[in-house]
Amino acid sequence: MNQRAQWKILPPVPDEYLNASDFSPLIAQLLYNRGVKLEDIDPFLSADRRLEGNPFLLPDISQAVSRVYKAVLAREKIAIYGDFDVDGVTAIVILVEGLSRLGAEVITYIPDRVNEGHGLKISALEKLQAQGASLVITVDCGVTDLTEVKQAREMGMDMIITDHHIPLGSLPRAVAVIDPKRKDSMYPYPDLAGAGVAFKFLQALFHKDSREKWLAGLMELVVLATVTDLVTLVGENRYLVKKGLRELNNSSRVGIQEMGKLAGLKPGELDTKDISWVLGPRLNAAGRMDNASTSYQLLTTQSPEEARLLALELERRNAERQKLTNEVLSRAREKLAAKLHLPVLIDGDESYSIGVIGLVAGKLVDEFYKPAIIISLGPELCQGSCRSIPEFDITAVLKECHNLLTTFGGHPLAAGFTVTRQNLAQLEDYITRLATDQLGQLDLRPEIVIDAELPLSTFSVETFNLIQKLSPFGRGNPQPTFLTRQVEVIECRNFGNQGEWLRLKLKQGNITWQAVDFESRRTRKEIPSRVDIVYNLEKSRWNGEEVLSLNLRDFAPAQLR
């Protein structure tokens, strides 16, 4: 039994940092590992308004503010056009509620994932024009939709783009393109979520307005998007998430209250994990299985009865989504069995639902640590969803194949595309060849970055509480991970629906710890009596009590040193 991942232990904190930081060696090490400079330690730990960016540093923000005020004064109808995931839906709610408060007349448009897909569509813009919209503001999309923006202008509609995706070589010719990832952007924090960009736009619109304080209530929506969209939790995002969690835990939105109640969450105790594993997937389920309008209604309704029905509907759709994901994953695994030697896993089928192909690709990456592309085959057009590993930038690969694709977009680790059925085989060959060139010679195993190697006696409730000062944890600020060697396994048993997880009792010296292993899928018989373990510290409920325990990320037979 070998360790599944490569263990990368970070170098010890330098003495000058340790002495100047005024913290215990462990906390200083964690701060140093996260690249926090000495002068930034206080704002990092406080995660307060010092991390806030000035919205007027965003590109084109002044033009956008002027155009919106002109529309409000002239009683123009403003359309908000967003994406169908949590980031897009929350961003729509943010702008609708903000602009309505300014006195604007606002309508919304959320495209259908199956029939329309991501981004701007001419048919949708025509519908909005028919409803009387003369200004369209996008959220979480639009920065790469050059043709559609040009056509909107020709139709006599003005457009303001707010987005957080990487622009192409040229920008859409809109009234304003607000995107912190623009090459010419002076904004200090480029990694905002789409809802974060929408929120900054409102800050600019409400600047020095007596109603500015009201904006704080929208931060519960920003935190839902920021955590679910997996943007980095550094810089301003730390402030937005910390403040947003406070708002979320005191939410007056009956939809959020009902969703939390149905999922068994404790009001007042919600954290980023609850968003990642419970609230985010439920809000996303509507757009995956059908239309995201259910999630929009849930976030905006003021009727407790409607909120309960909508929360029940999302619960049902989320269960459907889980079932469908497992069915597609099972079929894809079967079909890929003969291709597991290849450096990239590509599979397509007419039966694959567009709503879950990204989730399935992600699960395959987790299982095999290879890029995975799952494709829903249509009679003429096919839609693909890609998930990748750090060694293989999937958007760069799609750019290289752009002549074979109808559309594409995304991030280095997650992207999507459409391709004609006749180009599909050529595309698969081309991507496989690129993957062979780039990955063929590498020992592909996930890497676990370890903050420190320590004995189990280091940890106590006080230490855990000190570590929590570095929260909120997420991308860019991972939950601290530790290595302890020569640990004795006293007890071990399998649990879970198929007995796929492990519950262990571990001992080092005269100290014992409870541990769980949700990762390895090993049986009790495979566990040696002494192990080296890599883990996170967690608070969990054990026999009805809240205790500290170890969440094992990986382990291997203890090495004699």
DSSP sequence for 244-305: HHHHHHT---HHHHHHHHHTTPPTT---HHHIIIIIHHHHHHHHHHS-THHHHHHHH---HH
Residue 130 sits in the same domain as residue 204: yes
**What angle in degrees, to the nearest 10, is found between the helix axes of 146-154 and 122-130?**
30
Upstream peptide bond of 472 is cis (omega within 30 degrees of 0): yes
Q: Is residue 561 classed exposed, middle or buried when 0-12, 13-18 and 19+ CB atoms within 10 A define those classes?
A: exposed
**How many domains would you assign to the chain?**
3
Residue 204 sits in the same domain as residue 61: yes
Residue 208 sits in the same domain as residue 84: yes
Q: What are phi and psi of 312, to 5 degrees?
A: -65, -40
pLDDT for position 258: 96
Secondary structure element (H or E) that encloses residue 344, with its range: none
Q: Is residue 358 part of a domain?
A: yes
Q: Is residue 229 part of a domain?
A: no
pLDDT for position 463: 92
The whole-angstrom separation of Cα 256 and Cα 160 is 29
Residue 166 sits in the same domain as residue 63: yes
SS3 content of the chain, % helix, strand, coil (to 5): 45, 20, 35
Q: Is residue 519 part of a domain?
A: yes
Residue 356 sits in the same domain as residue 492: no
The token duo for 308 is 């309960």
Contacts of 491 (CB under 8 A, 6+ apart): 504, 505
Residue 504 sits in the same domain as residue 366: no
pLDDT for position 499: 65
Q: Is residue 308 part of a domain?
A: no
The whole-angstrom separation of Cα 278 and Cα 266 is 12
CATH code of residue 391: 3.10.310.30
Q: Is residue 228 part of a domain?
A: no
Secondary structure element (H or E) that encloses residue 78, with its range: strand 77-81
| Domain final residue pick, 190, 213, 236 | 213
Residue 481 sits in the same domain as residue 381: no
Q: Is residue 86 part of a domain?
A: yes
pLDDT digits (tens), the chain, 561 positions? 456 789 999 999 999 999 999 899 999 999 999 999 999 999 999 999 999 999 999 999 999 999 999 999 999 999 999 988 999 999 999 999 999 999 999 999 998 876 777 788 999 999 999 999 999 999 999 999 999 999 999 999 999 999 999 898 899 999 999 999 999 999 999 999 999 999 999 999 998 877 778 899 999 999 999 999 989 999 999 999 999 999 999 999 999 999 999 999 988 989 999 999 999 999 998 887 778 899 999 999 999 999 999 999 999 999 999 999 999 999 999 999 999 999 999 999 999 999 899 999 999 999 999 999 999 999 999 999 999 999 999 999 999 999 999 988 878 899 999 999 999 999 999 999 999 999 988 888 889 999 999 999 999 989 999 999 999 998 899 999 999 999 999 988 888 766 678 888 999 999 999 998 887 767 667 788 899 999 999 987 667 777 889 999 999 898 865
| Domain final residue pick, 180, 195, 213 | 213
The whole-angstrom separation of Cα 296 and Cα 308 is 14
Residue 191 sits in the same domain as residue 76: yes
CATH code of residue 207: 3.90.1640.30
Residue 179 sits in the same domain as residue 63: yes
Residue 418 sits in the same domain as residue 469: no
CATH code of residue 521: 2.40.50.460
Residue 84 sits in the same domain as residue 180: yes
Antiparallel, parallel or unpaired: β 447-450 and 6-9: parallel
Q: Model pTM greater than 0.85? A: yes
The token duo for 188 is 């200090």
The whole-angstrom separation of Cα 459 and Cα 37 is 25
Q: Is residue 268 part of a domain?
A: no
Domain that holds residue 397: 340-439
The whole-angstrom separation of Cα 536 and Cα 19 is 26
Residue 374 sits in the same domain as residue 455: no
Q: Is residue 317 part of a domain?
A: no
pLDDT for position 1: 44
| Domain final residue pick, 377, 409, 439 | 439
